[in-house]
Amino acid sequence: MGLGVIKSYIWSFAARFSHIALILGFAISYLLSEFDDLLYFHATFGVVFGVAIIFRIIWGFIGTKHSKFSDFKFYGLMAYFRSFFGKKEKFIGHNPASSIAIIIMLSLGFVCAVSGLMLYAIDKNSGIFAFLYDSYSELKFVKSIHEVSANLLLIVAITHICGALIDKLIHKNDALNSMITGYKLTKNDESVRANLTQKIFCLVWILAIIATFLYILNRDNFILKSHALKVDYSSQNAVFAKECGSCHMLYPPFLLPKKSWEIMMSGLENHFGTDASIDDDTNKNILNFLVANSAQTRGDKTAFSILKYAKNDQNIAITQNEYWIKKHRKIDEKVFLRKDVKSKANCVACHKEIENGIIGLIDYEKIK
């Protein structure tokens, strides 16, 4: 079937707008995933992508004719591929290859978006799934699901784009152009006309994508906002805050395992080269507090990872834990020698709220 002479309106503006939102949302989010200091924006564009996915799925059931899943061609795939080497058949809506690709991409996109929100929650204690933060050990597999679904989606999307380019450049069809203009040349008038419900849905669809993006730019939003709570250690244990905080920053107890705190508190006469001895009652008070709030008492990613790399709980230096080393491996050693940092042990130089038990707030400018 060659190109016709009648200009038919096939794809609604909402469908085309969402198509662009899907492409940009996924592409930008994927690229930003490599930058730790841009993680929030990675999540932002991921959410926009997810919103576009949800509306496109709904549109597949209630939309105009050629956008409905019921109009998709899921048969004749091999015949369609064979036509690449001869006279290629023209489809008014989706051809067999694009029909299958779209279902796969929507499915992978949905999994990618949901798993991304879950991963953001268990990594950063943020977003709508923040209640899962203390269940890292049970949910750490979510990272693999997110990465696999994202990479598979990228492969399918690139394949889909290549197919569209071949269709346009080699077979001279107008399917690619129609995703921009909404029109295809057909033998007969195949134009779609949205009813009132569809028009209202399209308007909501477009506004939802734009509103979601603008709303999330304000970080105090329910979708991605942090649920980390500041801990007032001086209120929880004034002795710990006074004795330990008088010589150095207050290190949150969850940064070391129970055994490490026990070893440390039993050897204060040689505390990293200084005599930090205290009376027995004070020592016992602080030790009990440290043990009661050690890494073993939490279920979040940081505590889980510290325990994983603790090397039999014999190490008492936080900066010598393999997890600490892994998380800081990209930082130039010169950063730790700067006057405003001084040493690896001065965590508060970059982690502004660490003395309140919050690690996630990082001054990325300082470590560049």
Yes or no: say if 26 and 155 are a contact pair by the CB < 8 Å rule: no
Other CB atoms within a 10 A radius of the CB of residue 91 amount to 20
The confidence score (pLDDT) of residue 360 equals: 79
The confidence score (pLDDT) of residue 310 equals: 84
Residue 242: enclosing H or E segment and its boundaries? helix 238-245
Residues 281, 284: Cα–Cα separation, whole Å? 5
- Residue spans per domain, the chain: 6-217, 233-366
Mode of pairing for the β-strands spanning 6-9 and 183-186: antiparallel
| CATH code assigned to 6-217 | 1.20.950
Instruction: Report the residue count for the chain.
Output: 368
The confidence score (pLDDT) of residue 1 equals: 44
* pLDDT lower than 70: segments of the chain: 1-4, 84-88, 312-313, 363-368
Terminal-residue alpha carbon distance, the chain: 59
Residues 163, 176: Cα–Cα separation, whole Å? 10
Residue 9: enclosing H or E segment and its boundaries? strand 6-9
- Model pTM above 0.85: yes
The confidence score (pLDDT) of residue 315 equals: 85
The confidence score (pLDDT) of residue 3 equals: 57
Residues 222, 50: Cα–Cα separation, whole Å? 15
Q: At what angle do helices 280-292 and 258-265 cross, to 10 degrees?
A: 170
